[in-house]
Chains A and B, each alone.
Chain A
Amino acid sequence: MKRVTLALTLALAAGLTAQAADAQTLKTVKDRGMLSCGVSQGLPGFSSPDDKGNWTGLDVDVCRAIAGAIFNDPTKVKYVPLSAKDRFTALQSGEVDVLSRNTTWTISRDTSLGANFTGVTYYDGQGFMVKKSLKVNSALELNSASVCVQTGTTTEQNLADYFKANNMKYEVIAFGTNDETVKAYEAGRCDVFTTDQSGLYANRLKLANPGDHMVLPEIISKEPLGPMVRHGDDQWFDIVKWTLFALITTEELGVTAKNVDEKTKQENPELKRVLGTDGNFGEQLGLSKDWVVRIVKAVGNYGEVFDRNVGAGSPLGISRGLNNLWNKGGLQYAPPIR
């Protein structure tokens, strides 16, 4: 540990701390009394601050669920808004404990960034939005179009692949943040705005006349979005991973924020295991026995989180589709808690 004194110099020079490699994330979070969570700079439905500065969204609820499991208090989260290009550096340097920022799981990100994806919170795909006045009905009619895109995303590469594969020309204009991209699209700098389809619906709400714009039917990529943690701390990796699984499992079992207390009293063996009245899986994770109860009390189950933020109960109104449970025609599946 003779290098500890130099760690600070290094953090400034290289954005890496010695502590990041030392893998005591849970202890660090508990000592700090706060979970530091990397979120977007404002994407309605996933992570955006309201007029009072309170963060809401699907990605935000993941942070709240983790804070709930650790502290039994979902408000103990410090949100760090990150641009697409800064997000990985913030995670690598230890500035955030978990990156919950609509980030696509790819092999290169999983292997070369020194970080791991813990699961999929939202199955997405990249789409295109155009003005209705252009009278375009398919992405294949977009030859020679100008496309606005946010820099530092998989979107940029999918875009290049798609236009090349279909022998179409295009002009790309890449902006640093989501808001700048949307503003340029609205100002007429480009014909097309592209990002993950959920993002298109979310951003359409920000436009002056959402009705003048339409999302084209084509989905040109697989974009499984999920939270990331640093390499080298398996306990923390497990905590984040099983927090997601707990959200899905409780939806399967019909446990909601409202009925969770009632459910803990039932004599169903699976419910007893999951809710911690039987066994001590929570303690094995480094949390408490009632960790799932805490999570559900904090944010509800996955279905509730989805509906409240992006689904039927939200302005976005996105249908469950791929994000339904595995036994209801979707892809959301959790390994058993036993």
Chain B
Amino acid sequence: MSIEARKPPPQIALKIRRVLGGKTGWNGIAVQFAFAAVLGWIAYEIVSNARANLENQHIAAGFGFLANNAGFDVNQTLISYTGSDTFLRVFLVGLLNTLVVSVVGIVFATVIGFIVALCRLSPNWLLARVGEIYVEIIRNLPLLFQILFWYLAVLAALPNPRQSISLLGIAFVSNRGLVIPRPIGESGFEAFLAVLALGIVASLALRIHARQALFQRGQMIRIWPYVLGLLFGLPLITMLVAGLPFSFELPQLKGFNFAGGSRIIPEFVALTLALSTYTAAFIAEIVRAGILSVHSGQMEAGSSLGLSRGTTLRLVVVPQAMRVIVPPLTNQYLNLTKNSSLAVAIGYPDLVSVFAGTSLSQTGQAIEIIAMTMGVYLLISLITSAVMSVYGWRVSRSLGA
């Protein structure tokens, strides 16, 4: 190192950046290698020490237990499952239950969040106050408390199955959940599905065509009548030609409960309600911040062009706000997914409840099960982040930023 006349004063942040960056040459690379080696050594020590301790205490280790029979039942399974299936199957059942409550929760949270944010920004005094009260109450109460509230409120409001509320005699609401008729595929089922798929693909193609026409030639094409025809008219005609694609299995009260039909359990409803309303309060604030970050001149420009307030928001303000909204919105989606593990408090069979709870206790293999569960949450979170990053990148690109 040569000494230069005008050397800037030493800065720690700068030094660290130079050490980790490539500009310092061999020095930096050596440090990085040493760092990686230390990390590797710590990881190796942890694994080997855990293994030695487990062996000393005669605690079973390894993933062989996944092939053993679980021997307990789960009350909401998206794939077929009985008590004689394996722990691996339990893992999948729990994972799917976690995913379904997260996805449904995210959709509802986003919708509610946007609505509340627009309420708060509304010039209507009453709407604005309602939005404000919602945000301030919901985000300041603990989530577990809200989950228990919804669960006990939902349960308390509903009668037992024998006095269940009948909806037109085909669906029933009771404290066992909502029972609806279950569709069973008949002869015309494949044809119906094929036509429906065709309708969706054709509608998407139409939309792409319409957007191209709009952006390239400035030509507005009205596509919604065609889309309606493709999505509903076409399947309807197929039904008339090929006969009904499915029949319905009606739920019937037998003994203590309903037999037949499909059921949405109250635990799922309570958990989804709690997660989506809670996260929506945070999303509302994020969306509000995003919209306020767009210069007020944009709104005025929209008005001066004769666009209505709604249209200006949709076409001018929100697309620009999305750049600010997307990164913190991703955080909220991740929070919601992770918070779904509070399900165990109300008996919803999510991954933590059936796998990191029941299975762990039955097998005692804490290290393997907790590692698998953590790995899954990490994977879900990374995938969510990746999807949101791609979306954020597209938003920025379309704005020419």
Contacts and interface: CB of A to CB of B under 8 A. Distances in A.
Interface of A: 3, 6-7, 9-10, 13-18, 20-21, 84-85, 88-89, 92, 108-109, 111-114, 134, 142-146, 148, 151-153, 156-157, 159-161, 164, 170-176, 180-181, 183-184, 187-189, 191, 230-232
Contacts of A232: 56-58
Given A172-B74, A187-B152, A187-B155, 4 more contacts: A18-B49, A92-B364, A112-B59, A176-B345
16 contacts: A6-B46, A10-B46, A14-B46, A16-B53, A85-B360, A92-B57, A112-B363, A148-B347, A151-B354, A152-B361, A159-B73, A170-B73, A171-B176, A174-B349, A187-B155, A232-B57
A181 B364 CA distance: 22
Contact of A184 (B45, B72, B347, B361): B347
Contacts of A88: 361, 364, 366
Contacts of B99: none
B266 A189 contact: yes
Nearest to A19: B53
A170 to B, nearest CB: 8
Contacts of B349: 174
Interface stretch (B191-199, B229-237, B249-257): B249-257
A176 B354 CA distance: 10
B240 interface: no
Given A14-B50, A16-B50, A157-B362, A175 B57 contact: no
Contacts of A157: 71-72, 83, 362
B255 A143 contact: yes
Nearest to B266: A189
Size band of the interface chain B makes with A? 35 or more
A160 B346 contact: no
Contacts of B175: 187-189
B211 to A, nearest CB: 49
A114 B46 CA distance: 19
B52 to A, nearest CB: 8
A309 B29 CA distance: 68
Contacts of B155: 184, 187-189
A160 B72 contact: yes
Contacts of B366: 14-15, 88-89, 92
A113 B364 contact: yes
A61 B346 CA distance: 32
A33 to B, nearest CB: 26
A327 B87 CA distance: 44
A157 B362 CA distance: 9
Given A160-B83, A175-B347, A144 B42 contact: no
Contacts of B345: 175-176, 180
B223 interface: no
- Interface-centre pick from B176, B256, B266, B363 (highest chain A CB count, 10 A): B256
Contacts of B363: 108, 112
Contact of A175 (B59, B83, B256, B346): B346
B357 A144 contact: no
Contacts of A175: 344-347
B201 interface: no
A13 B361 contact: no
B352 to A, nearest CB: 9
Contacts of B42: 6, 9
A144 B56 contact: no
